[in-house]
Structure 1
Amino acid sequence: MRKITVIAGLVAAASVALVGCDVQKTQEGNVSVPKYEVSKTKEGDVTLPKYDVTAPSVEVKTKEAEVLVPKVGLQEETVKVPSIDVKTADEKKAEEGKVASNK
């Protein structure tokens, strides 16, 4: 459970970080691809087969059942948890502008 929570937190942090990005093109790219020539050597006739498909019927239900469930006790404990501070590109630029004007 803890592993899933940590993974979900990291995914959320990465999503926030990507949304806060400011992307600027700094260099033009150059791509040259090879050229190919294709020639037809034979006439063809294509007829695709037809299918009648009957999908299965699926029903999802719940039912009551008796199962053994472990009882877990809880105690409060202080632990270190990750803390994430995200500054968007605009916030960073504004902060850098304040630092430059104070010098």
Structure 2
Amino acid sequence: MKIRSLALLFSGVLLVGALGCDVDQTEQGELPDVDVDVSGDPGNMPEYDVEGPEVDAQMEETTVEVPDVDVEMKEKQIETPDLDVTLPDENE
């Protein structure tokens, strides 16, 4: 339940961040002029000014009900990964 609530909260924050951006194109794009001898004008990519929303995040104390769970710990043998990493030789 807690994970689902956090996922919904973060989804909402991401949605506001994505929809709250103001994007203004500052320069038009241009295709390059290409000659057969592979020389020519390199062209120009468009430029943009992006202003994101201002977000004010603060912590506040809230009272919520949480379960009181006692956990008994036991030792158990399980398989875990054992990794060996060999870096390549610089001369190869």
TM-score (norm 2): 0.33
Higher relative contact order (CA 8 A, sep 6+): 1
Question: Higher strand proportion, which one?
Answer: 2
